[in-house]
Structure 1
């Protein structure tokens, strides 16, 4: 099996939380996701996100997925 490539997605959760004056704990409570899971997402260690979680984050943060996630081009491009 080939080695797993690092993902090229950046999560902007810190910026959105700061803009809204919200803590990760408050967001976790309002979204219904554990603090630990949101911390994994915030720190860029998540390998996947459910559409239901993405939708809930966007609802609570009043944003669009593109405000939350950026996909960077491959380094070889």
Structure 2
């Protein structure tokens, strides 16, 4: 039983160390990609299009509400 627990402890320590190193490697890779100028530019384009779609949708809703209010006032 002691050998099993010792093996489990050693496996845990080695696995945790390898897991942390891999996590750090992935984190550094993500950060390098996220900071790349081409990625920043693409993110800006996507952000602008989303804002345009959201604001355009709100504008259309506002326009439709105004038309409905005027139509109701005419009745």
Both proteins in one fold, TM over 0.5: no
Instruction: Calculate the TM-score normalised by the size of structure 1.
Output: 0.23
Larger radius of gyration, structure 1 or 2? 2
Q: Which has the higher strand share?
A: 1
The structure with higher relative contact order (CA 8 Å, sep 6+) is 1
Q: Which has the higher helix share?
A: 2
Instruction: Calculate the TM-score normalised by the size of structure 2.
Output: 0.23
